[in-house]
Structure 1
Amino acid sequence: MFTRTLLCVSLSAAAMPLMADTVWMKNGDRLTGTIRLLDGGKLLLETDYGGSIPLSWSKIATLQSDHELLVKENQITGERAKSLLASDEGKVTLANGDTPKTVELASIKQIMKPKPFVEDFLWKGNVDVAMDYKRAESDTDDYDVDLKTQARHGKWRHNATVDYNRELRNDVVSTDNWGTEYALDRFLDEQWFWQGRLEYKRDKIEDLARERTVGTGPGYQFWDNELGALSVAGLLNRTDYEYADGEKDNFYAISMRWDYNRYLVGKTFELFSTGEVGKPLASVADYSLDAEIGLRYKVTDWASLNMKASKDQVSGSDGDKDETRYTVGFGVGW
């Protein structure tokens, strides 16, 4: 009975231009929109009437799409389907030329849109804000703002970050620092790229008052798709330190940088981590570490709640630095 009904619906839909993907639920509901991804048992359907809707994969009868999608029946290999065709309940047909293949929905682990190597223009980013006010025997005002944005054009990728931290205890400033960074990546193929970057940090409280870094080196993009991204880069850096007492140091160092994010449960959660660990080639410092790890929970398509731990450490220099921060706040993404 389901197959007969589905055939009638499909024939009716074929009589008009297909403007959207279609998902048939086991309870008889029919939803239209754009299929974004399947992961963690949730199919993310973007609609113009309800935003992004996560649908339980086990409740879906079948689906169809005119868009090219990457369909994975395991976590490693996948098949690019030119389109998806509705089939019997619990099945879908992968249309790919003259050899369509019908598979069980239960066998499919992931669905996502293939990401092109060369893109005309893509811009994304987020701003996270955390504020904490405590009024007791010891009053505390804490502010933390982080901006991260990325733009991709052809084989070029622009990365920029800005962060600001300030804390007052009983009207006395105990933390006051900010930093900014710009990195430019030139992709040599789909995974290898060459990076150049500039970084500046200013701290009005710690002995290490200013850090300036210029670096360059190769990088590797392990993956970059609808489910997230992971890239690493090995850099040769020139760093200048300026201390609060006016003393200065400069040296060369090698470092390893990483940038990771992974969406979970139909993009409801995002796990992210960025950072850099470096080793000076001179005896100015033993090592440096600047890293963060956190989790975002999406409240809407653009708003999220986040919690994050960050660490900024320089060991073995005249102005040793070891700062760890934990923040919970609100974010906006695009």
Structure 2
Amino acid sequence: MNDTWNAPDLGGKVAVVTGASRGVGRGIALALGEAGATVYVTGRSTRTGERTENMPGTVEDTAEEVTRRGGKGIALRCDHGDPADNAALAERVAADQGRLDLLVNNAWGGYERSAEVRFDAPFWEQPLWRYELFEASLRGQYDVTRRLVPLMLPQQSGLVVGISFSDGDIYLGQVGYDVFKSAADRMCRGMAADLRKRGVAALCLHPGFVRTERVEAAWAAMGSGPASVVHSPEYVGRAVAALVTDPQVMERSGQVLSTGDLAAEYGFTDVDGRRPPAFRLEGRMSLATRMHRLNKVVSASSGQDR
């Protein structure tokens, strides 16, 4: 198959994508840039400072690529676990634009320090700091949203997208992880209820098995190639772009949606022309076990002891 995506016109639209120095956030920002949007790219990894987990990618790298593709990328160093950083972000967007059309809550610090204790260990062997990483990630999403949504209210339009993952009643393999990923879905539903009369939609979007920098590093260390269900980060970005331009998006507000299902419905493909279906855990190892193995391989291959 060939890449059949025709980028929609998002010229004049203003977006904030959190956690966009790499991974899914970067893929979303790039797709929005290709559609012509102005994208505020946030994250903790910068060219002049530290990079989280020593992984490649910075907010400046992503912002420059957004601009190269036809949008306008604006890089902002932001720790979303810090309320002061979130307040500064909201003030900056308000001063620059006076409005906001799209917020993508992608930042998630819950995989950090994963090699210190098995990610899929039973809850009584889990350190409290891991729970606190999950908690800070969800709290950051809540804080960012409450600060940025007021920039959508005057025009009575806008979209909040939470990036998460759950699979019905299937346990994700780690108590804290399962609780907070389910909570992220539930938070979107609650926000949608509060926003419904203001013309702003809020929903949760589930990627599949994404070929991120972390996953690629693990494959390189293991000497194995991608699974057939894997997709690029930009596949998720194309789903977000389709939702932003859907005139009926309010009908989806409060829902939990899958990238693969949206690809089939809206007719877009991944960058390689394939259309991977919605990712399901049934018949596969739990997501916590998958992440534990990936993190362990990445840490060992880079000589890190995190």
TM range (shorter): under 0.3
Q: TM-score, normalised by structure 2?
A: 0.25
Structure with the bigger percentage of helix:
2
Q: TM-score, normalised by structure 1?
A: 0.24
Structure with the bigger percentage of strand:
1
